[in-house]
Structure 1
Amino acid sequence: MQFKWIKKLVLAIVAIIVLFMLTPFAIVPAGHRGVLTTFGKPSAQVYDEGLHFRWPLAQTMHLVGVAIEKGEGEGDAASRDLQRVKTRIAINYHVKPEAAVTVYRDLGNQPGDRIIVPAVQEAVKAVTARYTAEELISKRAVVRDDIVAALRERMSRHGLVIDEFSIINFNFSKTFDEAIEAKTTAEQLKMKAERDLQRIEVEAQQKIARAKAEAEALSLQRQQVTAELLRLREIENQAKAIEKWDGNLPTTMAGGALPFINLPTKQ
């Protein structure tokens, strides 16, 4: 009884496989293009998403992904000043829909392994060798653009398109990292010293300006104190003393002397 049940199951599976092989239709799902082969030979036509007719057994529909793919990786290279650099990158790319037949036929439907990986490694090494280690850091955007330019030309020949490319990180040797840190610290100390010097110079200039202003004010005052001005001040003081005098001479004076006041004499 159990043997009969197993036999029926096997027959059912075989029937499903035969029906699948004999079905005259093929489906191309979203994000793909179809390449139809007749006894293994790919046709020149690219099949869009949807349902398509095929000859059972003789023809097979192969799917080529055209949606955006993402890849990340690391590569070792040497800078122009012979510093060892490990670069980590991320790339988004896709297959041109019209190039689906080329990708299937020439790249075995494996563009990532056949083209993307070696092309990225080669481009990163070639561009890294143009710059010193410090320039790789300070000119990161320029380095990225150079790598993209090198990649775009090679990838376009195989029907591939770069959507995004990013340099995630540059890793250098421990010795170089320590040298960069020491240089950064020295530059920060230099900038602080320059700011302190500027502050001291400004404060000194302010003190000189204040002293100069005070000297000019004293000089102006000395120029204004003339003999005529002193005589005028003496007459004004005598006039004020006369206004306050009650007409009586004091009987005693400290020091035993009377104040001398110039009074006009009668003619």
Structure 2
Amino acid sequence: MPVIEPNTNKPRFPLRILIWTAVIVFAGLVMILNAFATVQYGNVGLYKTFGKLNDNILAPGIHLKIPFVQSIIQVNVQVTKAETDTSASSKDLQPVSTHVAVNYSVDKASAYKLMNDVGGSFDNVIVNPAIQEIVKEVTARYPAEDLIAKRDIVAGEVRDALTKRLAKYDLLVNDINIVNFKFSDAFDQSIEAKQVAQQQALKAENDLKRVQIEAQQKVAQAQAEAESLKLKKQEVTPELIQLKQIEVQEMAVDKWDGKLPSVTGGAVPFIDVNSFGSTASQPAATESAAGEDAAASGDTAASGSAAADKDAP
């Protein structure tokens, strides 16, 4: 019989075995990788086994799970902002468009209840409709002007009502801000006209107060002047009047050049010549008396001569 020599080129392991080995190793790696899941910071995790949630709350970090059987869903528990625009009517039936921003968060301990009862889209299902309904309700309690003047009070009422509403779903309201109130153009024009009128009225009031103060100042000044004149009048005496007259006459004599004006339009100022002194007046009186005696003597002589002529033949 012929001897069959072994084939030295035949592989030591069959190719089929190598392929299955590679598949098993790959599957093992996949299983190992799927046996771990990471819960990100700011979130909590919930096991979901064949579509059913587990109430075990997972903290941030790496957690084991059954590959291809379990999954971990993450719930954001950080503060989240929800913004919405709401159209409503005020108490005086003015159309109002309100832009509201609400900061809220999910209660960590109640994440399972929220996700099991509402689901992951709770912001659109619960938060936004609640904001719009409550804003409309609160806006209808106030006239349009009060919505502007009492913005903080309105925001407080919205926050309180929204807190009670979202507490049913274990949602926490951290803060609320009314970003803007928007009214109709006609209402904005009326508000502007009213503000202008108020400013004009305030200006008129200030002008009136200023006039009153100035009048009071004038009255006070007049009273002070009258009081001053009264005191001065009490100081005037006959001796002071006579002294002032003498001073005026002396000033007139000092300025007089001894000539009377050639043309006068009124009375000549009176000058008391007796005040010049008794010495100047005595010679004038003596000369006047001598003149009168000479005139009398002349008249007597003339009378005697006339009588002698009459008696002569």
TM range (shorter): 0.7 to 0.9
Match of 2:273 among 251, 257, 262: 257
What corresponds to 1:97 in structure 2? 108
What corresponds to 1:205 in structure 2? 216
Change (3 A) 1:157 1:262: farther
Unaligned runs of 5+ in 1: 1-10, 242-251
Using the TM superposition, give the Cα deviation of residue 229 of structure 1 relative to its aligned residue in structure 2, in angstroms. 4.8
What corresponds to 2:147 in structure 1? 136
Change (3 A) 1:35 1:259: same
Change (3 A) 1:29 1:181: same
Using the TM superposition, give the Cα deviation of residue 253 of structure 1 relative to its aligned residue in structure 2, in angstroms. 7.4
What corresponds to 2:162 in structure 1? 151
> Which one scores higher on RCO, CA 8 angstroms, separation ≥ 6?
1
2:216 partner amino acid? Q
Using structure 1 for the length normalisation, give the TM-score: 0.79
Indicate the SS of the match to 1:259.
Answer: helix
Instruction: Give the whole-Å Cα distance in 2 for the aligned partners of 1:157 and 1:113.
Output: 16
2:120 partner amino acid? N
- 8 A Cα contact 1:123 1:147, kept in partner: yes
2:144 partner amino acid? A
Indicate the SS of the match to 2:101.
Answer: strand
User: Which structure 2 residues correspond to residues 67-146 of structure 1 after superposition, within 5 A?
Assistant: 67-146=78-157
- 8 A Cα contact 1:22 1:57, kept in partner: no
What corresponds to 2:288 in structure 1? none
Instruction: Give the whole-Å Cα distance in 1 for the aligned partners of 2:121 and 2:273.
Output: 127
User: Which structure 2 residues correspond to residues 48-67 of structure 1 after superposition, within 5 A?
Assistant: 48-67=59-78
Instruction: Give the whole-Å Cα distance in 2 for the aligned partners of 1:192 and 1:151.
Output: 44
Segment drifting more, 126-135 vs 89-98: 89-98
1:118 partner amino acid? P
Higher gyration radius (CA): 2
Unaligned runs of 5+ in 2: 1-21, 251-256, 260-270, 280-313
Instruction: Give the whole-Å Cα distance in 1 for the aligned partners of 2:136 and 2:92.
Output: 14
1:142 partner amino acid? I
2:184 partner amino acid? S
Instruction: Give the whole-Å Cα distance in 2 for the aligned partners of 1:262 and 1:224.
Output: 33
1:101 partner amino acid? Y
Using the TM superposition, give the Cα deviation of residue 111 of structure 1 relative to its aligned residue in structure 2, in angstroms. 2.1
- 8 A Cα contact 1:32 1:48, kept in partner: yes
Indicate the SS of the match to 1:77.
Answer: strand
Deviation per CA, 1:237-260: give whole Å up to 9, x if none.
7xxx9xxxxxxxxxx978793525
Aligned length: 236
2:205 partner amino acid? E
1:190 partner amino acid? A
User: Which structure 2 residues correspond to residues 21-36 of structure 1 after superposition, within 5 A?
Assistant: 23-36=34-47
Using the TM superposition, give the Cα deviation of residue 112 of structure 1 relative to its aligned residue in structure 2, in angstroms. 1.0
Instruction: Give the whole-Å Cα distance in 2 for the aligned partners of 1:153 and 1:52.
Output: 35
Using structure 2 for the length normalisation, give the TM-score: 0.68
